[in-house]
Amino acid sequence: MKDETKCLHAGYSPKNSEPRVLPIVQSTTYVYDSTEEVASVFDEPTKSLIYSRFANPTVMAVEDKIAALEGGVGAMCTTSGQAATLLSLLNICKAGDSFISTSEIYGGSINLFSYTLKRLGIECIYIRRDATDEEIEQAFKPNTKAVFGETIANPALTVLDIERMANIAHKHGVPLIVDNTFATPILCKPFDFGADIIIHSTSKYMDGHAVQVGGVIVDSGNFNWANGNFPEMIEPDESYHGISYTETYGKAAYIIKARMQLMRDFGVYPAAHSAFLLNMGLETLAVRMKQYCENAMIFARYLQSSDLVESVTYPGLESDANYSLAQKYLKGCSGVISFVIKGGRETAMKFMNSLKLASNEVHVADIRTCVLHPASETHRQLSDEQLVAAGIDSGMVRFSVGLENIDDILADIEQAFAAVRENA
Ligand SMILES: *Cc1c(COP(=O)(O)O)cnc(C)c1O
């Protein structure tokens, strides 16, 4: 099946007389005929359902759809993108370990990596985006367990050189974890370039309608966990009557361990109703992504031609520093554009307050056009130094082009620019 078809059909195929639409199984628990059967479910927890803290039929159908779209062996949904990021790392890092991350990542990930994980004894070693292979290699320590990066960084909009990062990670016997939120599997399939684990905030394009906060972890099944660096993946898990994940589950060891250990213990599993809403978004993901990219390209060119704009960042523009990486890895550059307005922070705010169609909100990748000022909103907790490292200028506006008619989006910008001019 091609992507458009997977979006509609993967994960759920009703049999004779079953509901056409993915049913919402809003039940915390599942019944069995005998205690023996319940006991056997505990022995083989991946065969049947036990409890909706870690598995539910509606959520699992969506997991299968996302795994199919990414080309992975399995997926696990979480209650937020943050939870997906957290569990993707906790599944292979413990106190005393470290991992490497590019510095241009989502602000919430920077908080998690720099403060919360640090408190848990897990160190994040940041690398500059222009670091040479040698510099990245030098960042590795004997306790380094993963490399992390974003396909299209939020909000810096730089493109990760996935193949290069995967090669370096593999040379050191650790997986590459890629946050593919902005690209979605429609625009990029990181597994094709050597990534091992993919995470998403499904709150963004996957849902698209701003109705559910969620996340997902997808396992490529390609990483060799038996290389000596990941004993917890091989050795008997005392908390699961001594099973070895690699021995029992082979290629799906990582994602099954994440569910059986971490989801069981942390319980950040989405409700069936949230998964149902996410599924509705996924059904139209392929068509939506095409239109976001088309609108954003026109919008980016318009901004480039405006004398009020100092610079435009959109990897789809030939002039963009990430253009060649985008050509290699992306089928389109999503609807997210950032630009620096002349006049800095104050002008940026005046511009944003003058918008009528585009809404001022803490969101991105919505079906409706929305706009945000990272320096004073999402990234306000970052120091000036961290802002620069994350690729954020104080006059930077992050624009998330929606699916309105592009003429209406441009008209809105024009009247906001006019208001800025009047003010000047
Ligand atoms: C929003 C976002 C997250 C966090 O996801 P939530 O669903 O908000 O928890 C992680 N990574 C990226 C790239 C994001 O844009």
Mean pLDDT within 127-133: 90
The pLDDT tens digits for 150-165 are 999 998 899 999 999 9
DSSP 116-129: IHHHTT-EEEEE-T
| Same domain assignment for residues 262 and 328 | no
Residue nearest to atom 1 of ligand 1 (CA): 201
**What is the model's pLDDT at position 387?**
77
The pLDDT tens digits for 102-126 are 999 998 999 999 999 999 999 999 9
| Helix (H/G/I), strand (E/B), else coil: 300 | helix
| Same domain assignment for residues 272 and 318 | no
Residue 253 has pLDDT above 80, yes or no: yes
| Same domain assignment for residues 351 and 383 | yes
**What is the model's pLDDT at position 129?**
76
**What is the model's pLDDT at position 376?**
82
* pLDDT band, very low/low/confident/very high, at 280 (cuts 50, 70, 90): very high
Q: Which mutation among 85, 116, 159, 181 tests ligand 1's pocket best, with the greatest number of atoms within 8 A of CB?
A: 181
The pLDDT tens digits for 346-366 are 899 899 999 999 998 888 999
| Same domain assignment for residues 271 and 300 | no
80 CA to middle of ligand 1, Å? 7
Instruction: Tell me, using a 6 A CB cutoff, whether residue 205 lines ligand 1.
Output: no
Residue that is last in its domain, among 223, 251, 281 = 281
Instruction: Tell me, using a 6 A CB cutoff, whether residue 179 lines ligand 1.
Output: yes
**What is the model's pLDDT at position 107?**
87
**What is the model's pLDDT at position 324?**
98
Instruction: Tell me, using a 6 A CB cutoff, whether residue 334 lines ligand 1.
Output: no
Residue 410 has pLDDT above 90, yes or no: yes
341 CA to middle of ligand 1, Å? 25
Percent of the chain predicted with pLDDT > 90: 86
Residue 390 has pLDDT above 80, yes or no: no
**Half-sphere CA count of 276, side-chain side, radius 13 A:** 10
| Helix (H/G/I), strand (E/B), else coil: 45 | coil
The pLDDT tens digits for 160-215 are 999 999 999 999 999 999 999 999 999 999 999 999 999 999 999 999 999 999 99
| Same domain assignment for residues 78 and 202 | yes
**What is the model's pLDDT at position 320?**
97
Residue 304 has pLDDT above 90, yes or no: yes
Instruction: Tell me, using a 6 A CB cutoff, whether residue 201 lines ligand 1.
Output: yes
**What is the model's pLDDT at position 283?**
98
Residue 305 has pLDDT above 80, yes or no: yes
* pLDDT band, very low/low/confident/very high, at 382 (cuts 50, 70, 90): confident
* pLDDT band, very low/low/confident/very high, at 389 (cuts 50, 70, 90): confident
| Same domain assignment for residues 43 and 125 | yes
Residue 139 has pLDDT above 90, yes or no: yes
Per-state percent for the chain, helix, strand, coil, to nearest 5: 45, 15, 40
410 CA to middle of ligand 1, Å? 27
**What is the model's pLDDT at position 47?**
79
| Same domain assignment for residues 194 and 132 | yes
The pLDDT tens digits for 312-342 are 999 999 999 999 999 999 999 999 999 999 9
Instruction: Tell me, using a 6 A CB cutoff, whether residue 215 lines ligand 1.
Output: yes
Mean pLDDT within 293-299: 98
Gap between the Cα atoms of 69 and 66, Å rounded: 5
Residue nearest to atom 8 of ligand 1 (CA): 81
Which residues constitute the domain of residue 343? 285-423
Nearest alpha-carbon partner for 54 in 276, 245, 268: 268
CATH number for position 338: 3.90.1150.10
Ligand 1, closest atom to CA 82?
9
| Same domain assignment for residues 317 and 255 | no
Mean pLDDT within 273-291: 98
The pLDDT tens digits for 60-101 are 999 999 999 999 999 999 999 999 999 999 999 999 999 999
Nearest alpha-carbon partner for 93 in 149, 148, 31, 164: 148
**What is the model's pLDDT at position 362?**
85
96 CA to middle of ligand 1, Å? 26
| Same domain assignment for residues 274 and 317 | no
**What is the model's pLDDT at position 116?**
98
Residue that is last in its domain, among 281, 302, 319 = 281
* pLDDT band, very low/low/confident/very high, at 409 (cuts 50, 70, 90): very high
The first and second tokens of residue 376, run together, are: 């004073």
Instruction: Tell me, using a 6 A CB cutoff, whether residue 154 lines ligand 1.
Output: yes
Instruction: Tell me, using a 6 A CB cutoff, whether residue 104 lines ligand 1.
Output: no
Q: pLDDT averaged over the chain?
A: 95
The pLDDT tens digits for 14-57 are 999 999 999 999 999 999 999 998 888 887 777 789 999 999 99
Percent of the chain predicted with pLDDT > 70: 100
| Same domain assignment for residues 254 and 329 | no
Instruction: Tell me, using a 6 A CB cutoff, whether residue 180 lines ligand 1.
Output: no
Ligand 1, closest atom to CA 215?
7
Ligand 1, closest atom to CA 83?
9
Count of domains observed in the chain: 2
| Same domain assignment for residues 246 and 302 | no
Identify the sign of the CA torsion 177, 234, 236, 67: positive
**What is the model's pLDDT at position 394?**
80
| Same domain assignment for residues 311 and 351 | yes
Name 333's Cβ contacts closer than 8 Å, sequence gap at least 6. 152, 157, 187, 293, 296, 297, 314, 315, 316, 326
Instruction: Tell me, using a 6 A CB cutoff, whether residue 108 lines ligand 1.
Output: yes
Q: Which mutation among 157, 204, 338, 377 tests ligand 1's pocket best, with the greatest number of atoms within 8 A of CB?
A: 204
Instruction: Tell me, using a 6 A CB cutoff, whether residue 212 lines ligand 1.
Output: no
Residue that is last in its domain, among 246, 281, 316 = 281
Instruction: Tell me, using a 6 A CB cutoff, whether residue 203 lines ligand 1.
Output: yes
CATH number for position 50: 3.40.640.10
